[in-house]
Amino acid sequence: MRSACIPRSLIYPNMTADANPKSDVTASDRPRFRPVPWTPLETPQDVELWIDEHNRTMQELVKPQETGVGVRFRLAPGGDVYMQTAADAVILDVEPDASWIAPLIMAATGAEQPSGNIWVLPDDKLVQLLLGLSTLVESSLIVTGHNFGKHGRKMY
Q: What is the pLDDT of residue 155?
A: 40
pLDDT cut 90: percent of the chain above it: 58
- The overall average pLDDT reported for the chain is 81
Task: Look up the pTM and report it.
Answer: 0.78
Q: Is the dihedral of CA 154, 143, 88, 90 positive or negative?
A: positive
**Among 50, 49, 60, 43, which residue's Cα sits nearest to residue 83?**
50
**18 inside domain:** yes
Range of the structural domain that residue 93 is part of:
8-151
**3 inside domain:** no
**54 inside domain:** yes
Phi–psi pair at 114, nearest 5 degrees: -75, 165
Partners of 114 in beta bridges: none
For the segment 85-113, what is each residue's pLDDT rounded down to a tens digit?
988 899 999 999 999 999 999 999 999 99
The answer on pLDDT for 71 being more than 70 is: yes
**1 inside domain:** no
Helix-helix angle 126-134:102-109, to 10 degrees: 140
Q: What is the pLDDT of residue 32?
A: 77
**69 inside domain:** yes
Instruction: Characterise 58 by phi-psi region: left (phi > 0), alpha (psi -120 to 50), beta (else).
Output: alpha
**127 inside domain:** yes
Specify the number of domains making up the chain: 1
Alpha helices, DSSP H, located in the chain? 8-11, 44-61, 102-109, 126-134
**101 inside domain:** yes
Residue by residue, DSSP assigns 9-38 as HHHS-B-SS-S-TT----TTTS-SB--EE-
The answer on pLDDT for 137 being more than 90 is: yes
What is the band of 154 on the pLDDT scale with cuts at 50, 70, 90?
Answer: very low
Cβ neighbours, 10 Å, residue 138: 14
